[in-house]
Chain A
Amino acid sequence: MATTLATAGVRPLSGASGRARARERRHRGLLGLLAWACGIVFFLPFAWMVLTSLHSEQDAAANPPHVGASLTLHGYREFFGSGTGVSPWPPLVNSLTASLASTALVLLLAIPAAYALSIRPVRKWTDVMFFFLSTKMLPAVAGLLPVYLIAKNAGLLDDIWLLVVLYTSMNLPIAVWMMRSFLADVPVAIMEAAQIDGAGLPTVLTRIVTPVVLPGIAATALISFIFSWNELLFARVLTGVVAGTAPVFLTGFVTSQGLFLAKVCAAAVCISLPVLAAGFAAQDKLVQGLSLGAVK
């Protein structure tokens, strides 16, 4: 009854507003085009990097640019050391070790902590949350020197495990905030029932909490992986020949040396690939991690 009345009331208007609606549709189409144009402009430098990496060095250095030049994997072969014999694999493996190990450690510490901040909260748990967050606001560079001196005395310089510890501290606050917001969605009643049935904390964590929050754990892991992979300052100061990571390897390309543009671009593409893959996979959760869980 009410709906028929409503549609009857709208119908006489629709004819008169038809032209306005057409104008609105055109307007909307233009804004869609504008959005596409912006997307392409922002993507262009990246596309150029990929295209250049696939050109020969002569074509890559052409001015004006030689867009339609034939494609080759020469730059990639150069990056993997065909010309110089310098293999990028040790730094890539170092980066992978540092990122994966620190991410595992982050999860190991953050999940129980988030549990104690959401499901069975300690008193003043919001204060603890803000302590974690405030450590993220302190610039890492401020602790660089003491860390360096301690590492030097302990013989940990140029040791990938030192980076693992530092990257863990870098990502732990983000992970605690993210994991808390995911754990807040866990059905507490089911957990308490399990505890009454005699299940201990480890069982509750592995059997009930983990399956429910698995997507959250995946997102937290991806964010932590990305930040560890990207880090340069600590890796640059605290590692050398043995434990240098992929970003440190990339700094070898800071000063230009002859025809090497395709090789630089190939290196940049290869070293960004894991981050791009992780980022696209976690696209929806990216914003939550970046805002430390403040934005859902």
Chain B
Amino acid sequence: MSSQALFRRSSAARAATGRAGTSPPHARPRGAWSRRAPLLPALVFMIVVTQLPFVGTLVISFMRWNALDPGDRGFAGLSNYSTEFTDPQLRSSLTTTVVLTVAVVLVSLVLGLGLALLLDRRFPGRGIVRTLLITPFLVVPVASALLWKHALYNASYGLINGTLSWVWRLFGSHDAPQPDWLSQSPKLAVEASLIWQWTPFMMLILLAGLQSRPTDVVEAARVDGAGAWQVFRYLTFPHLRRYLELAALLGTVYVVQNFDAVFTLTSGGLGTANLPYAVYTTFYQAHDYGQASAEGVIVVALSIIVATFALRTVSSLFREEIR
């Protein structure tokens, strides 16, 4: 039994060295295709389903095409793009996208870092606290948006205003402020609900980063008399930097695409319409296919800027792993 296993291993090793070292060059193409075969279905599927539609979008973005006026279809040059940048409403969706994304990513990154640092140390019930913190990320996004809209923000029966009346009543007053959160600060309301959902994501990635940190170096520094702040500033933070970048960039890629929260909480009203929502309304309600495509191309252009950095960060972590 063991000798058989030994024989197998050595023959495998021989075969491996034989293939790597002395295989004749003309045998290679067949080997290469048998290697590629398992990959091809997935690759072809991805190209057909994700790349070709985008080519379609690119072509339509240069066309004059409104489904409500099917007779007037033709080449429009850059006019869809110039409309995009001159129409105040569409331009506002561009800035809303940037503001919304930056605010949500930055705040949830900072909160996520704090929570990850808290969870990195041992304390009773750490597993339970981690589970509690992950929960917001596991609520279906539409359900989460409905929860914020109706159960928390609602002016007459939401939990926030309910808590305000309760606190005021404690002090014997019956006229607690009851603001209508969604109409008074719509952007902040959308951002808060998204921060609630995305902080756990940031925390999970940063916690994984913290736990991959070499402990012996930290211990050596502690023995040498480094304080908690010094350990964080000179050891933890440099190690964590790439994880912070990764969390921020992946978070950006996901939040830029957000549709559910804007659609559910405000239906894009009150200046909260971001680009994905604008694409949705231009296409689904206004039926302006050319304009919607131009918006789609702009979202892609924005994403490519972020994605270039994201891909670079992922690849630096990745090359370290496969080394």
Contact = CB atoms under 8 A, between A and B. Distances in A.
Most B C-beta atoms less than 10 A away, residue of A110, A256, A286, A291: A291
A45 interface: yes
A96 interface: no
Contact of B133 (A38, A147, A294): A38
B169 A64 contact: yes
B38 A45 contact: no
Interface string A258-289: 00010011011101100110011001001100
A29 B124 CA distance: 9
Given A38-B118, A65-B162, A142 B296 contact: yes
Chain A interface, DSSP helix/strand/loop, else mixed: helix
A193 interface: yes
Contacts of A64: 162-163, 165-166, 169
A290 interface: yes
Interface string A221-258: 00000100110110011000000001100110110100
Contacts of A29: 123
Given A121-B35, A142-B299, A286-B204, A268 B143 contact: yes
Nearest to A34: B118
Most A C-beta atoms less than 10 A away, residue of B124, B243, B321: B321
A139 B50 contact: no
A35 B36 contact: no
Interface in B200-251: 200-201, 204-205, 207-209, 212, 243, 246-247, 250
Interface size class, chain B: 35 or more
B76 interface: no
Chain B interface, DSSP helix/strand/loop, else mixed: helix
Interface stretch (B77-85, B183-191, B256-264): B256-264
A200 to B, nearest CB: 11
Contacts of A126: 315, 318
Contacts of A196: 8, 11-12, 15
Contacts of A130: 311, 315
Contacts of A20: none
Interface residues of A, number: 108
Interface string A104-124: 000001101101110011110
A279 B243 CA distance: 22
A141 B204 contact: no
B119 A35 contact: yes
A135 interface: yes
A157 interface: no
B314 A294 contact: yes
A161 interface: no
A144 B281 CA distance: 12
A292 B310 CA distance: 12
Contacts of A73: none
B54 A275 contact: no
A246 B143 CA distance: 10
A207 B5 CA distance: 17
A292 B54 contact: no
Contacts of B32: 122-123
18 contacts: A31-B118, A45-B148, A64-B163, A131-B46, A137-B253, A137-B306, A139-B256, A143-B57, A144-B292, A146-B54, A189-B13, A251-B264, A261-B150, A271-B140, A279-B138, A280-B134, A295-B212, A296-B212
Interface of B: 8-9, 11-13, 15-16, 32, 35-39, 41-43, 45-46, 49-57, 60, 114-115, 118-119, 121, 123-126, 128-144, 146-152, 154, 156-157, 159, 161-163, 165-166, 169, 196, 199-201, 204-205, 207-209, 212, 243, 246-247, 250, 253, 256-257, 259-260, 263-264, 267, 275-276, 279-280, 283-284, 289, 292-293, 296-297, 299-300, 303-304, 306-307, 310-311, 314-315, 317-318, 321-322
